[in-house]
Amino acid sequence: MQSVLFVCLGNICRSPLADGIAKKLAEEMALNIRVDSAGTGDWHIGEAPCENSIKIAKMHGIDISMLRARQVNKNDFDTFDLIVALDENNYNDLKAMGATNLVKLGEYGYEGADVPDPYFFSGFEGFHEVYKMIDICVRNLFSVK
């Protein structure tokens, strides 16, 4: 695997976290992997990750503040070796768009479970939980691929 794209709904919380975690791991493991993130929706294009995602990443030594949301497009399916959906809805949307090089992140640590949107939890704790899930899954993904 030479490139991976992490995709969630808005590209402001989960996929930027996966992007930052993957870049840090790739550096630590001396892997030459291109990493990016995107969203299936278009309402956050150009925005920075949400404040809590930036905060939880920074608590783990990762700076994602420079990332900007973008919408996934069909060209990404040819550009990236692997497209990684953060949940079932995104997986289905990507599949409907024609992605074939597609997996769910939860398959790499949570028996296929979705990585939930942290806003469905109460308070900042949701970002801790989602960070842990993404970290475990990305580590497993990189050890398999």
From 8, 13, 50, 137, the catalytic residue: 8
Q: Is the pLDDT of residue 120 over 80?
A: no
From 14, 50, 76, 87, the catalytic residue: 14
User: Nearest Cα to 61, choosing from 11, 13, 20, 15?
Assistant: 20
With both helix axes pointing from N to C terminus, report the angle between 14-28 and 51-59 in degrees, rounded to the nearest 10. 20
Residue 139 designated active-site: no
From 34, 68, 93, 117, the catalytic residue: 117
Amino acid, single-letter form, for residue 83: I
Give the pLDDT band of residue 145 (cuts 50, 70, 90): low
Share of the chain above pLDDT 70, in %: 99
State how many domains the chain has. 1
Residue 135 designated active-site: no
Q: What is the CATH number of the domain that holds 56?
A: 3.40.50.2300
* Residue 27 CB partners (closer than 8 Å, separation 6+): none
Domain carrying residue 56: 3-144
Residue 8 designated active-site: yes
What confidence tens digit (pLDDT) does each residue in 29-38 have?
Answer: 999 999 999 9
pTM comes to 0.96
